[in-house]
Structure 1
């Protein structure tokens, strides 16, 4: 998008927003929709709050409500800028009734434009309810030009102009997995030259249009440029296939829409004068076969918004001949159990922070499609960063490990979009410091264990990494067939051998690994019903397993730490969100023995938990990041900050425990506790609050030795 085009688009939408509320609603920098006050000439340790701008891109109206809530509603509640982009109109068969032959006959002829409008009406009602409590709260709607040469409808909630909806109004596939070239999939794969619009009845967009693949990418990237998000939420571009290489596990529009978002984010990352941003991917249809993650109260709240969208009361509150919501959803507003669940398909690992041999801490996160890192030389030293490794295409999530000689290595997955659809794929990459506490070398690739159908699947997990006493690294990953694979260095610092197949079936999430005091390597991975384990009794020895651990069903994300001659596993209980734990031990080559499951602390919430010594860090019931002491049903000590991905934790050699999370503002936020010694679960004193690791740039900091901005300009 040219500067002139971007300026025209921003001006149009800014004028529109001013007309609604008297203020510009475009986010500037990483604020909350209002101009940030000039920083004081000193560093002030302010408690972390939710800032930034969140932008969701989904394929259909309701994908956000089914698969991104409660993250979505909680973001709206904070008052930050929240924008949702709908790629297709979701016109389906054009009948606003349940899928039933006799009901379809009664509904009369199909009207795709009207059904798409009914879904729009339902979405506007649900967002109005989330933001104001009143589904009838007014919207102002306008047609705006896009960078792709078409038009989009933009809706601004009059009483809460921070809430925007953008309707791209492209034609949907009209089939979950059927081979229909007139679709996002057909456009991505080059089977059609352009995909046309499906305009809704009542939309202010009047002229039909069509996008080529490049124009569609440009249109989405142009929305990013206008809204300047710090968090981009989208669906899973690589959900995998059913066993045997059959149909995709997700709706084709979800999958290929997410690939268009990947391409648009890559283009947006190359623009100047934008804030840093992170990307969060969400699981969609595969949630049907997995345990619920939400507690009953949160699930009921989520279901309430879905019922509003579904127009379950069938009262004509909106006055639209098309209808006031999606009656197809009204027969089953919970979906296939989706109202009870939320899951991330990327970036749910907790091992992205490591302590170097000198005591320096290193934290890693993917920003702008690149790997960013922050570091801190000691408990009393300031954090510095973010700095960036070279190379783009880096997916959310990272795993960091200290090598035998004290250097740090970071592992991630990288997506290559490719010049042709067949070249699309994901691989595992890693980078290593050139010297202790030094800079990082270039990315090196380990490829992928998925050598067939790479462009169609690439559904590998994030990597988990271990280092043996002789200095060899081993990487563990779940492949697209849901089995465990491993690849190990042949010599310390040397080349990696071939991928090993370690078995297992139906694995979910990322594998985790730890080594007990006897030198035995443990690897754990969840299934829909329990947890499997592999054990390597000594370096170079064959693996035992997969073993059934006997652990109960989990929500899918594990964390581990070594504990004496065993490994302690942490997980959340389905349908409750409480954190539970069990100690597993191994005797010789036998299967691991697990202790009775106990409550670890941290009541409610969802997502993975970071472990730092005797400190838990995770999402509390309100969705904010919190900490709790391990042992018994301890409540979270909550912050006021929503975050993305999962927290990490490190128990430092100095005896302090540090937890970190990436906020919606794309900044690193941390909390530090002193060594335990008092009666409280968090040590002898209350820790400082969660706060930005690197404080906002001030004039007093400019040029200060050791400052992240010394000798430079304020960070973007």
Structure 2
């Protein structure tokens, strides 16, 4: 594109494309017998398509998880999976490897089959039904895979590819790290044999293209609208199979021909060095599901369990700020922003409360899901991170006329650290000069700022800090002084496998004119997830975060001298992600919303203007696929936005004159 770093470039804006009419993959067959310890071949018999109607697409199936090993789903994607099952939604979990890698000294087929039995028992427990399944063969493009369906809850299915585990250097035809080798085999010269006994109908030498085509065929067969995958860009140690599985899945999603297919990534091993972020009820449910599996995995001895129990206390989505972001402009109208399939989508509120869009803004390269937005005067701004190998940051700017331009900012720090660059946070001075902050790959905070409104950006400036976490918080655009907040890890990267103890800190930087002051500690705490800010009627900052020990929300109020008071507990709900927070004009009312309180749904609570007393929590229902965003419209009504199935924008508005809501409605998509 000939884009120079730091210089704005105009962009073309197009209408969104919605793909429908997914085709059924032929050849579905089921068998009535279960899987034996040595995994005998499964008989192949004609049977109905997944929704019970031959030849019909599985329109009720929505969620698909793709993981490398049996137990990755239970450890890193729960309680999200359990919540979807509890909500009665259709879910399919795909396991790419046989998980036989460490079965040294005994039959790898028997060990793999035992792990599969454990997974079936765990899913039956999450569904609250008996552990009874029907198994069969499904032709998924070039591969034939086994599908297990939970008999008393047929909305729950498991799919087994049985490719070699990365630790298996004996069974695998490519040696160790077969999945990684396959994922990197862009030419397509290699294939790996599935780990099944001779004569099995699932025996196949699968190439990279075969795996991608099979995943895409499954997405179409099951009518998938949300795909969950592992971490494509882990920050710290991770299993090579995890990364390969995540990247294959992400590539399959991009090539599936559906630009609105929602993809959500999850942190794997690295969650152990982050604070506990699941409430007591969620931890108990997650541990119970894993315990059902663990009894069938003979390699999970007592010496390994402390690490596994640590994983059951946490679940982190990969990109803070993923989902929809809602903000109000100077014209009093709201806009909603989200990244879907690597492109930026924008919905705009009309005068009568109706919405138009989405518009797709395509900068010519894919974006990561984590974004922040803001507005000052007539100017809108969105900060995002590139999802390619440059790991660079970008800023989108536009006025009321949707004439968008993009500025590439590159990535701060050393080249070797840039792949670990976090999600950016954006704000602006009162005269419209944009400032972008980001957690660098080295664990510090860096800033890059415009010299004048709509002008070029200066160079990256490192503001310091140590072992800082992704998920920065900045004061809203137009407010002075600009402040940025970051939470630190208590477990250094060099000891990433040690479990975090919760003894971290929160740091703040303040801008004096255009120069930031030195970072300062404002609290010895380790927030469970990203930080959130609001301003009370006195214009002082309120810092909101979750206590990792109790799961309750804490508020720290800024004093008159600029220091912060100790945290005050304000209640909470068994939430999953960081909350969304907004304060009305004048600071008289605040609204906090978070995923939780109901399976895959959202719960909210109103607070008084001081932000120190929340009322009762109430459910807005669900299920929804990502965290909500909240704002107050020009009439003073709270508006909650979230993404639903297939990336559609859902809006729920406050009832006039009451602390209730009208109910969710999907925004009709217009050019």
After superposition, the Cα gap between the structure-2 partners of 1:197 and 1:175, relative to the gap in structure 1 and judged at 3 Å, is closer
Whether the aligned pair in 1 keeps the contact of 2:25 and 2:220 (CA below 8 Å) is no
| Distance in 2 between residues matched to 1:443 and 1:158, nearest whole Å | 52
2:402 aligned with 1:432? no
Question: Counterpart of 1:61 in 2: which secondary structure?
Answer: coil
After superposition, the Cα gap between the structure-2 partners of 1:453 and 1:74, relative to the gap in structure 1 and judged at 3 Å, is same
Whether the aligned pair in 2 keeps the contact of 1:153 and 1:205 (CA below 8 Å) is no
2:260 aligned with 1:260? no
Tell me what 1:18 maps to: 48
Q: Cα distance, 1:515 vs. partner?
A: 5.7
Match of 1:605 among 553, 575, 597: 575
| Distance in 1 between residues matched to 2:57 and 2:542, nearest whole Å | 44
| Distance in 2 between residues matched to 1:440 and 1:280, nearest whole Å | 29
Match of 2:647 among 663, 666, 671: 666
Question: Counterpart of 2:473 in 1: which secondary structure?
Answer: strand
2:343 aligned with 1:382? no
Match of 1:111 among 101, 107, 111: 107
Match of 1:230 among 225, 229, 249: 225
Match of 2:331 among 336, 358, 367: 358
* 1:151-300 alignment runs, 5 A limit: 151-174=144-167, 182-190=177-185, 193-200=189-196, 205-211=201-207, 213-241=208-236, 249-268=237-256, 271=257, 274=258, 276-300=260-284
Q: Cα distance, 1:494 vs. partner?
A: 1.2
- RMSD (CA atoms): 3.1
Whether the aligned pair in 1 keeps the contact of 2:432 and 2:453 (CA below 8 Å) is yes
Q: Cα distance, 1:58 vs. partner?
A: 0.9
Whether the aligned pair in 2 keeps the contact of 1:461 and 1:477 (CA below 8 Å) is yes
* 1:317-356 alignment runs, 5 A limit: 325-329=296-300, 331=302, 335-348=308-321, 352-356=325-329
Question: Counterpart of 1:18 in 2: which secondary structure?
Answer: coil
Tell me what 1:37 maps to: none
Q: Please give the per-residue CA displacement for 1:399-449, whole angstroms capped at 9, x wherever unaligned.
A: 111144x12222222212xxxxxxx3432223222x41x224354422222
| Distance in 1 between residues matched to 2:50 and 2:193, nearest whole Å | 27
Tell me what 1:621 maps to: 597
After superposition, the Cα gap between the structure-2 partners of 1:570 and 1:198, relative to the gap in structure 1 and judged at 3 Å, is same
Q: Cα distance, 1:56 vs. partner?
A: 0.7
After superposition, the Cα gap between the structure-2 partners of 1:208 and 1:351, relative to the gap in structure 1 and judged at 3 Å, is closer
| Distance in 1 between residues matched to 2:78 and 2:57, nearest whole Å | 22
Tell me what 1:505 maps to: 466
Q: Please give the per-residue CA displacement for 1:498-552, whole angstroms capped at 9, x wherever unaligned.
A: 21111111112311101699822211111233343333342312x2232111242
After superposition, the Cα gap between the structure-2 partners of 1:510 and 1:24, relative to the gap in structure 1 and judged at 3 Å, is farther
Q: Cα distance, 1:256 vs. partner?
A: 2.3
After superposition, the Cα gap between the structure-2 partners of 1:180 and 1:402, relative to the gap in structure 1 and judged at 3 Å, is farther
Give unmatched runs, 5+ long, in structure 1: 1-5, 34-52, 96-108, 242-248, 312-324, 417-423, 676-683, 696-707
| Distance in 1 between residues matched to 2:477 and 2:139, nearest whole Å | 60
Q: Cα distance, 1:183 vs. partner?
A: 2.5
Q: TM-score if structure 1 supplies the norm length?
A: 0.78
2:588 aligned with 1:579? no
* 1:21-170 alignment runs, 5 A limit: 22-23=52-53, 32=60, 53-95=62-104, 109-134=105-130, 136-142=131-137, 144-147=138-141, 149-170=142-163
Tell me what 1:639 maps to: 620
Question: Counterpart of 2:116 in 1: which secondary structure?
Answer: helix
After superposition, the Cα gap between the structure-2 partners of 1:626 and 1:619, relative to the gap in structure 1 and judged at 3 Å, is same
| Distance in 2 between residues matched to 1:525 and 1:611, nearest whole Å | 17
Whether the aligned pair in 2 keeps the contact of 1:668 and 1:694 (CA below 8 Å) is yes
Match of 2:526 among 522, 530, 553: 553
Q: Cα distance, 1:586 vs. partner?
A: 7.3
Match of 1:448 among 403, 411, 414: 411
Whether the aligned pair in 2 keeps the contact of 1:517 and 1:565 (CA below 8 Å) is no
Q: Cα distance, 1:55 vs. partner?
A: 0.8
* 1:446-525 alignment runs, 5 A limit: 446-449=409-412, 452-453=415-416, 458-514=419-475, 519-525=480-486
Q: Cα distance, 1:285 vs. partner?
A: 0.7
Match of 1:394 among 358, 363, 367: 367
Q: Cα distance, 1:607 vs. partner?
A: 1.0
Question: Counterpart of 1:168 in 2: which secondary structure?
Answer: strand
| Distance in 2 between residues matched to 1:516 and 1:429, nearest whole Å | 17
Question: Counterpart of 2:387 in 1: which secondary structure?
Answer: strand
Q: Please give the per-residue CA displacement for 1:284-342, whole angstroms capped at 9, x wherever unaligned.
A: 1111122211122221111111111112xxxxxxxxxxxxx212236456705011111
| Distance in 2 between residues matched to 1:664 and 1:90, nearest whole Å | 31
Whether the aligned pair in 1 keeps the contact of 2:324 and 2:627 (CA below 8 Å) is no
| Distance in 2 between residues matched to 1:12 and 1:494, nearest whole Å | 59
Aligned residues: 604
Q: Cα distance, 1:218 vs. partner?
A: 2.8
| Distance in 1 between residues matched to 2:481 and 2:155, nearest whole Å | 53
| Distance in 2 between residues matched to 1:343 and 1:64, nearest whole Å | 13
After superposition, the Cα gap between the structure-2 partners of 1:459 and 1:518, relative to the gap in structure 1 and judged at 3 Å, is closer
After superposition, the Cα gap between the structure-2 partners of 1:668 and 1:394, relative to the gap in structure 1 and judged at 3 Å, is same
After superposition, the Cα gap between the structure-2 partners of 1:382 and 1:366, relative to the gap in structure 1 and judged at 3 Å, is same
Tell me what 1:45 maps to: none
After superposition, the Cα gap between the structure-2 partners of 1:440 and 1:62, relative to the gap in structure 1 and judged at 3 Å, is farther
Question: Counterpart of 1:255 in 2: which secondary structure?
Answer: helix
| Distance in 1 between residues matched to 2:94 and 2:424, nearest whole Å | 31
2:406 aligned with 1:412? no
Whether the aligned pair in 1 keeps the contact of 2:49 and 2:58 (CA below 8 Å) is no
